[in-house]
Structure 1
């Protein structure tokens, strides 16, 4: 069963609450010693009754007192282990959350929300169950058999040795049985993580699901994950089912009682053992087998929690984002990419290839290109969501790997296309990441983002909850709250990812004015699809397959870059396109006739 190796793993992860667990085991061991004394007193009461020694009032009073103290110690032992379990659960979740925050963000995304939820919630909870229940079980599984065997050896060394040999044989048999029925720990964890991911996808994508496939495809993925989990569990049960049933059969008083009755009657027939001694032996031996049941429970707790510990350790052993031992702080905010190449894994094709780029301080740089050209990757590398595979990125002449990640992020405000809001109030979302922000500053930021009037129309105004992921607001409203957050932060570098994505034609001009105000005196990088919003950029980068194929301002690119000129012409044609009225009428007429 390799319990020793497993317990080493558990001892390491339970070290923060080791003192409480030792105290719990000590109380539980005292309780088990007292339990043995209760059995002995019960045997003494029967002995006195058999010899007509009168009513054993004193012994019965002692028995009552022992029983009260026994249950008090047992409850206290369980209390201590449960307190330790809650404390460890808190510490582990804090530790794991901190570790996730130290990982490269790209790595976090690749792991997936389902797998991380499995570790943070399910695995930590599994470990909580072990810590809460294992110490008393361990005391009962190890100390009670020792106490009972000592008592049996004192009572009659011959029968004591026979009981010890029988118990040892059963233990060895169980070891063989359980070693043949190992849990598929990794398959179990992966299957459960798939279920978590499918549930999260199913719930978060409900609007898309209902619109396009009524849940058939997404539910199909969820059903596949459930079927896989079911297959893993059925396979495990087939392997351990026989061992578990046999173990439960062996760990009952009946086999031991039959063994002792045969041997005891034989010894009694030879006048080597009194009838009362045989009775005492049967009582203690039955208790011995009964107290070995916790050993089975302890094994299952160890095995299940070991799987959780392996996943927790796997997450904690992941390489954090490297931090320089002597971090530097930039004094200016120009950006330079020097021969930057990047691929997500060593086997993947490079997403960026020997890219060179200079972005002057307080300039406006726009990045355009088809999907997959490397635009977002370039931004992610600047924010150190990933580190470059080769080359360097410098901020103010300092390699960003020499800047503390927290300091780097405090220099950058980001307005993403998919803006994430937390399930708290509007005011808390605007001031997120800042401490001791005055209400008036939040209001001023909202006014600059042109969202103040809308907020004041809400019943709770700035205290209005936005719902999970901001689901109670429209895409445009969420974006304006993110813009208000950027105004409030007022950081020297501003990164915009398609800032007019959720605006209609009527509001686009208004939003451009907002961004012009936000961009003032900042180093600005904008990923854009609407070319009309970047004609005033100091430089435009046209990317294709991880390379910059054209670079310059709008006027120069129209003159010198045929690829950009073609793209601009196609953009102009797309803006001028409209559905011909005659064609539209004919289509409607044809559809009506078909009806």
Structure 2
């Protein structure tokens, strides 16, 4: 499958304000320009009924006998035509804006998803999953509203009062002044009362993201809550839900206290122009310096100015939310990426399937996890990595599949530094069977071939058969076309692992990494998994992260890690003799194998319970 990142246009450079949002349009900027122009023209035609009223009054005030009725019908006809044209322009502008928005945001969502594939896993795991989901969902949805609706509506709302003001000055400059006298005052009131709103909006966005995360955590932990019979209040306390809800409530209350008075004051002041138009216009009419028809037209234009100004003020308040959301999208798109050697002069190609860790050191921030790790895995051999929890075993595997890059030393495949292998080639070199299998909400077929359209259904079935998964797949309601629940909720742990192995068989990479693939399997499933792993690892270079030492006693070599360092390397028998830690781990597992739950309580237990 081709790498889509090579064909997608890069994100625009960091900008602020309206220009940053318009920069999203890219090649579709022409469509958006036409959409705004059509919306502005449609807005202008909304003045047609006012002009019809003026002309009708003018004719009624100055009748011309037999021509009056004909001309009135003509005026009404032109008015109806203008309304039809307005509808056509509004529909055309809306369609253009929506098509542009859907295409722009389609590209944006794909760009964000593609970006996530290219950033180090450390950048993703350091962030809350819900915060990234919020970018892909809420923030991008707000951008769709801006492009498809707010941009057009803002253009229309801006055009109408500007043209109305020009018309008023053309018709009677006195009426123009009394109509617009409240506009500057309303703007000043809005600015003064909204000064603290941006700060509260930032707090709202932060608390909203935390609340979403806590709600997801609460729902995911509902099984534990039910198991321990905890009420909603006590269970929520464990995940800080009440505190976060209270903080969210406080922010909302403060936001309402700030915005409602500001908005109410704006609407009252901007609508107060009638208090000026009616007395002054009436006075000039009675004086004879203003005709009745012109007075009515100016009155209608004055009324019409206020509604679009309300819309502009509303869109202005939304711009902070939209800009903050787009800022988070830009932050994600500017995250550091794993360098790709696809076009580099020092690009390397693996000579074989061997693996080497050469002076490898790695740290999560300031926490050192691996220090000066050096060992080799010959091509076609099996090496097991063992050690206590926190020794750095899984981190070592993830450096090999290049979830992160080392800080010192190197990781090599076939003599080539993994940082100098193009990412597309690197991903084809290594298959990673994780302990925690992730399955997508898709069919079994697509979960196994994972987007590889070149893999036929027959090849998928063959891989599933080799992975000991074919029988249980056929027992599913629609077989290979069964849609799995979220994260494969319909399947057992062993079934998920066998699908993961089938997925790795389809990938057919020369290097296999197994991160304790049988950790949570029952004896029956473990036997099937071991048989499937035997097929998967045949003629491959294999690195196994092992907790059950009994499964790796026949490994070609066993590397013992402790506190991020290699303390021993050799075969099982040799390590039992020479490595104290390995011998201790082996003894612990041997002792645990003979442990059993006491069937009859002792007298001491009975007395203690009493």
1:68 and 2:79 correspond: no
Q: What is the aligned partner in structure 2 of residue 21 from structure 1?
A: 32
What is the TM-score when the length of structure 1 is the normalising length? 0.90
Contact kept in structure 1, 2:444 and 2:482, CA below 8 Å: yes
Q: What is the aligned partner in structure 1 of residue 245 from structure 2?
A: 226
Residue-by-residue CA offset, 1:99-151 (whole Å, 9 max, x unaligned): 11221123222223211211111111111112222233222222112211221
Contact kept in structure 1, 2:352 and 2:379, CA below 8 Å: yes
Structure 1, gaps ≥5 residues long = none
Alpha-carbon distance in 2 for matches of 1:134, 1:510: 58
Deviation at 1:6, TM superposition (A): 2.2
Contact kept in structure 1, 2:178 and 2:276, CA below 8 Å: no
Alpha-carbon distance in 1 for matches of 2:477, 2:97: 48
Alpha-carbon distance in 1 for matches of 2:122, 2:502: 26
Q: What is the aligned partner in structure 1 of residue 356 from structure 2?
A: 336
Q: What is the aligned partner in structure 1 of residue 7 from structure 2?
A: none
Structure 2, gaps ≥5 residues long = 1-14
Residue-by-residue CA offset, 1:239-289 (whole Å, 9 max, x unaligned): 22211111121232xx11212334335545665444544333222222222
Contact kept in structure 1, 2:189 and 2:262, CA below 8 Å: no
Contact kept in structure 2, 1:182 and 1:240, CA below 8 Å: no
Alpha-carbon distance in 1 for matches of 2:437, 2:138: 29
1:288 and 2:329 correspond: no
Root-mean-square deviation over aligned CA pairs: 2.7
Equivalent residue runs for 1:46-125 within 5 Å: 46-52=57-63, 54-55=68-69, 56-125=72-141
Deviation at 1:509, TM superposition (A): 4.6
Moved more, 507-516 or 240-249: 507-516
Alpha-carbon distance in 1 for matches of 2:506, 2:106: 33
Deviation at 1:19, TM superposition (A): 1.8
Equivalent residue runs for 1:140-155 within 5 Å: 140-155=156-171
1:416 and 2:427 correspond: no
CA 1:16–1:534 in structure 2 vs 1: closer, same or farther (change >3 Å)?
same
1:435 paired residue among 449, 453, 458: 453
Alpha-carbon distance in 1 for matches of 2:449, 2:372: 38
CA 1:566–1:166 in structure 2 vs 1: closer, same or farther (change >3 Å)?
closer
SS in structure 2 opposite 1:391?
strand
Q: What is the aligned partner in structure 2 of residue 494 from structure 1?
A: 512
2:265 paired residue among 237, 243, 246: 246
2:402 paired residue among 372, 384, 403: 384
SS in structure 2 opposite 1:319?
coil
What is the TM-score when the length of structure 2 is the normalising length? 0.88
Q: What is the aligned partner in structure 2 of residue 299 from structure 1?
A: 316
Contact kept in structure 1, 2:359 and 2:374, CA below 8 Å: yes
Equivalent residue runs for 1:302-381 within 5 Å: 302-324=319-341, 325-326=343-344, 327-345=347-365, 348-381=366-399
CA 1:82–1:218 in structure 2 vs 1: closer, same or farther (change >3 Å)?
farther
Residue-by-residue CA offset, 1:59-112 (whole Å, 9 max, x unaligned): 223222222322332333233222322222322211211111221123222223
Q: What is the aligned partner in structure 1 of residue 11 from structure 2?
A: none
Q: What is the aligned partner in structure 1 of residue 45 from structure 2?
A: 34
Contact kept in structure 1, 2:154 and 2:315, CA below 8 Å: yes
Alpha-carbon distance in 1 for matches of 2:24, 2:276: 42
Q: What is the aligned partner in structure 1 of residue 54 from structure 2?
A: 43
Q: What is the aligned partner in structure 2 of residue 556 from structure 1?
A: 574
SS in structure 2 opposite 1:111?
coil
Deviation at 1:472, TM superposition (A): 0.9
Deviation at 1:580, TM superposition (A): 5.0
Residue-by-residue CA offset, 1:477-523 (whole Å, 9 max, x unaligned): 11112122223333211111112212334554554344334322211
Alpha-carbon distance in 2 for matches of 1:166, 1:439: 71
Residue-by-residue CA offset, 1:193-234 (whole Å, 9 max, x unaligned): 223323433444443343245474654434444333332222
Moved more, 139-148 or 396-405: 139-148
CA 1:432–1:280 in structure 2 vs 1: closer, same or farther (change >3 Å)?
closer
